[in-house]
Each structure stands twice: as structure tokens, then as C-alpha cells.
């Protein structure tokens, strides 16, 4: 099996990205994507991220599997559902954390809707600690939803790396 590769999204990725965000089960777990899917919104995201952090497409060969990023110190990811349980989210998030902490971040936050235990498991597996339960607006669901907030410090990440736990 080919290894995962990471690169900024580009306009050439718009079709594959739009197919991914046309799956309600994917988009309902994201905070900022609209539903029903909007092609212009997707095209606006299918380009290199310009801001505090990075967002990359996650690929196997030329195939877009999902995306991962750390934006303003907050990690986020999304993947095709047929890839669940293959370790792709954990592998990509591990790579993103290594880069983000290597760029000098002192801590990284993450979140998961309460009805998304798989995402929470990824964060916990990576060493995040749950900090709070809050309410937040889901753009796709068009309502307020309970969300679990997590945090990981660089010191905790480096400790995990030194123990070979990451």
C-alpha cells in the first residue's frame, strides 16, 4: 500500500473535495461546512490555505482521502467514511502535530461533537486531554450542538514522542 502524502489543496482537487463534502455523514461532523454542499464554497477551500497554520489534502497516490490542518492552533481533519478504522486520521493528525509543534506552537486544541466518538478517540489516542464540554453552532446542522474540547501541550507531545507513544 502506498504511503500517505500531504500537500496544500489546489483547484485541481475541487472535484474530489466536493465529492467528500457531499456526504452528509462527513459534513455533519464539521463545524464550518455548509449543507447542502455548495460548489463555490468547496472551490474556495480547494486552494492553498493562507492564514495562521496550514491545511493539507491527505493523499494516497493521486487519490484525495481527506484533509488535515492546524489553523490558529486548532487541529481539524475529515476523511471519507469508507476509510474508517484504517488509522488514516491518526497518522495524518500525528504528522500535522509534529509539524505544528515543530513550528513553535506551545499547545494545540481540538474538538469533536458529542455524537462523534471516533474523532474524540483519535484526539485521546494522540494524548489530548478533555478540557470542557460546550455548546457551539454547527453550520451544516444549522443548530447549536454539544461539543467536547481538547488540548495538547508541546511538553506532553514531546514526552509521548520520547516514550515512543506517538
80-129 confidence digits (pLDDT tens): 999 999 999 999 999 999 999 999 999 999 999 999 999 999 999 999 99
- Residue in 71, 74, 76 with CA at minimum distance from that of residue 93: 76
- Would you tell me which CATH number, out of the four given (3.90.950.10, 3.40.718.10, 3.40.630.30, 3.40.1350.10), belongs to the domain 4-162? 3.40.630.30
pLDDT at 166 over 90: no
Helix (H, G, I), strand (E, B) or coil at 166: coil
Give the pTM.
0.94
- Domain regions of the chain by residue span: 4-162
What pLDDT is stored for residue 97 in this prediction? Answer: 98
User: Cβ of 142: how many Cβ atoms within 10 Å?
Assistant: 9
Amino acid at each position: 500500500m502506498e504511503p500517505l502524502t500531504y500537500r496544500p489543496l489546489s483547484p485541481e482537487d475541487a472535484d474530489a473535495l466536493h465529492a467528500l463534502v457531499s456526504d452528509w455523514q462527513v459534513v455533519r461532523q464539521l463545524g464550518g461546512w455548509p449543507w447542502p454542499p455548495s460548489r463555490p464554497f468547496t472551490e474556495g477551500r480547494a486552494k492553498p490555505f493562507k492564514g495562521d497554520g496550514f491545511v493539507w489534502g491527505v493523499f494516497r497516490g493521486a487519490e484525495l482521502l481527506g484533509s488535515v490542518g492546524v489553523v490558529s492552533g486548532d487541529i481539524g481533519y475529515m476523511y471519507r467514511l469508507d476509510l474508517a478504522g484504517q488509522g488514516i486520521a491518526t497518522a495524518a493528525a500525528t504528522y500535522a502535530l509534529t509539524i505544528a509543534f515543530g513550528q513553535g506552537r506551545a499547545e494545540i486544541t481540538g474538538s469533536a461533537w458529542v455524537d462523534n466518538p471516533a474523532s474524540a478517540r483519535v484526539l485521546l489516542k494522540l494524548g489530548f486531554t478533555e478540557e470542557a464540554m460546550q455548546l457551539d453552532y454547527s453550520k451544516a446542522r444549522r443548530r447549536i450542538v454539544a461539543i467536547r474540547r481538547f488540548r495538547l501541550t508541546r511538553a506532553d507531545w514531546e514526552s509521548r514522542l520520547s516514550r515512543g507513544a506517538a
